[in-house]
Amino acid sequence: MLRLTDATIRNLPSPATGQKTHFDDALRGFGIRISQGGTRTFVLMYGADRQLLSIGRYPVISLADARAEAKRLLAEKTLGKRQPQSITYERAVALFLEDKAQECRPGTVSEYKRLLAVHFPFHGQLAAITHADFERKLKRVDALSERNHALAAAKTFFTWALKHRYITENPTVAYSLVGRPSRSRVLSDDELKRVWKAAKEMGANFGTIVELLILTGQRRGEIAALQTPWLNLADKTITLPAEITKNKREHSFPIGQSAASLISNFPTEASAPVIFPARGKSSTPFNGWSKSKVALDKLSGVTGWTLHDIRRTVASNLAALGVALPVIERLLNHVSGSFGGIVSVYQRHSFMPEMRAAVEKWNNRVLDILAS
């Protein structure tokens, strides 16, 4: 036990592993929890079952405000009442994004921020948002896929707010994700051909990204984020840095002639390294997925699918072409199958020759599909 002050909080050391909680000797149950990475979070332990409630991160929430909130919560416990904290929606979203940044990938946090800002631009007190308010915002989202993404983000946010006692009712509980495409969807040759032709007609940047997804089988965010330093067109190789891959591992993979030709049509300058920039933002990767996907479906006539289904389609076709599963997984940068567990520690073969052979087979197969 110690008297918590700003000076003591700043000087408390981080534990070597896990988390350590230091309780305040001036307010029973109130304390600061410090993680191995140095994150400091105010907490309150109360009740016979010693429940531990997170109040907020320091210094986003000041010591004085955290102590006042702890006293309020203890009073509610004593009186048997529960009132939501007084906090604005904008402030709650900022705290939510900061919290999620500690546990989610940057791309996920960025998507939460975009979806909440675009589809749920509420103002005023968070606790004042009603089911009717939320429904009005949600009804304005036309595209089914974007609606599901927006609703999922909102559910995550309001559930977080309920857990932190910023609200007493979750306005999203009456709504569910609808019409989600099957996660086992594999495009037929005819569908793949129609999607390719529609993408070709749409052109840069979205259309070319879709073509590269078909040719490489990589994730959409990774292809959209391509930068000049990651390319070696002479060797027909792309190396994705660890910070943008899903598994946080650098991923080098070969590309075929068709993919190399597509990329070579775009300027690859050190001064503007992003190959497929967002509209009006040369340093930001393409991000206009929702409207572009709706246009692609309309143009191609193929519906009920997601861009991620292309990745599954490539994997299925590679298997049909006789490519060994470990080669497919290495090409697609999977680590939970043949390279999961202890295998990932000892397996250091790059599989580059095998991947080149697989890419060549797939490149020829795509050309055959398009010519049929």
Residue 173 covered by a domain: no
Amino acid letter for position 1: M
User: Are residues 140 and 286 located together in one domain of the fold?
Assistant: no
From 44, 79, 114, the end of a domain falls on: 79
Residue 169 covered by a domain: no
User: Are residues 54 and 72 located together in one domain of the fold?
Assistant: yes
Number of structural domains the chain divides into: 3
Residue 183 covered by a domain: no
From 36, 60, 79, the end of a domain falls on: 79
**Residues 164-211 pLDDT 10s:** 888 888 999 878 777 655 567 899 999 999 999 999 999 889 999 999
**Residues 238-269 pLDDT 10s:** 999 988 888 788 999 999 999 999 998 887 66
Tokens 């709504």 correspond to 175
User: Are residues 58 and 123 located together in one domain of the fold?
Assistant: no
User: Are residues 67 and 105 located together in one domain of the fold?
Assistant: no
**Residue 353 has what pLDDT?**
92
Residue 321 covered by a domain: yes
**Residue 357 has what pLDDT?**
95
Residue 38: give the domain boundaries. 6-79
Q: How far apart are the first and last CA of the chain?
A: 76
**Residue 84 has what pLDDT?**
55
Among 115-129, 138-152, 221-235, 312-326, the range scoring the smallest mean pLDDT is 138-152
Q: Give the Cα separation of 275 and 213 in Å (integer).
A: 15
**Each residue of 128-155: b (16+ CB within 10 Å) or e?**
ebeeeebeebbeebeebbbbbbbbebbb
CB atoms within 10 A of CB 259: 23
Cβ–Cβ < 8 Å for 23, 38? no
**Residues 135-177 pLDDT 10s:** 999 989 887 778 888 999 999 999 999 888 888 889 998 787 7
Residue 182 covered by a domain: no
Residue 138 covered by a domain: yes
User: Are residues 75 and 123 located together in one domain of the fold?
Assistant: no
User: Are residues 219 and 357 located together in one domain of the fold?
Assistant: yes
Tokens 């393409």 correspond to 286
**Residue 79 has what pLDDT?**
61
User: Are residues 122 and 222 located together in one domain of the fold?
Assistant: no
Residue 139 covered by a domain: yes
Give the pLDDT band (50/70/90) at residue 344.
very low
Q: Percent of the chain at pLDDT above 70?
A: 90
**Residue 16 has what pLDDT?**
87
User: Are residues 198 and 338 located together in one domain of the fold?
Assistant: yes
- Look at residue 343 and tell me whether its pLDDT is greater than 50: no
**Residue 348 has what pLDDT?**
46
Q: Give the Cα separation of 255 and 248 in Å (integer).
A: 21
Q: What is the rounded average pLDDT for all residues in the chain?
A: 86
User: Are residues 197 and 286 located together in one domain of the fold?
Assistant: yes
- Look at residue 51 and tell me whether its pLDDT is greater than 90: no
Q: Report in angstroms the alpha-carbon separations of 231 from 14, 46, 160, 315, 347.
A: 40, 56, 40, 23, 25
- Look at residue 300 and tell me whether its pLDDT is greater than 70: yes
User: Are residues 194 and 343 located together in one domain of the fold?
Assistant: yes
**Residue 313 has what pLDDT?**
95
Across 97-105, average pLDDT: 86
Across 85-96, average pLDDT: 87
The CATH number of the domain where 55 resides is what? Answer: 3.30.160.390
Across 99-122, average pLDDT: 89
User: Are residues 58 and 108 located together in one domain of the fold?
Assistant: no
The CATH number of the domain where 324 resides is what? Answer: 1.10.443.10
Across 274-291, average pLDDT: 86
Among 42-51, 92-101, 202-211, 343-352, the range scoring the smallest mean pLDDT is 343-352
From 20, 55, 79, the end of a domain falls on: 79
Contacts of 73 (CB under 8 A, 6+ apart): 44, 46, 53, 55, 165
Residue 49 covered by a domain: yes
In this prediction the pTM is: 0.57
**Each residue of 334-354: b (16+ CB within 10 Å) or e?**
bbeebbeeeeeeeeeeebeeb
The CATH number of the domain where 93 resides is what? Answer: 1.10.150
Across 27-35, average pLDDT: 91
**Residue 257 has what pLDDT?**
94
- Look at residue 87 and tell me whether its pLDDT is greater than 50: yes
Q: Report in angstroms the alpha-carbon separations of 40 from 2, 53, 94, 100, 138.
A: 16, 14, 17, 14, 35
Classify residue 270 by burial, with Cβ atoms within 10 Å: 0-12, 13-18, 19+. Answer: exposed
Cβ–Cβ < 8 Å for 152, 177? yes
User: Are residues 125 and 256 located together in one domain of the fold?
Assistant: no
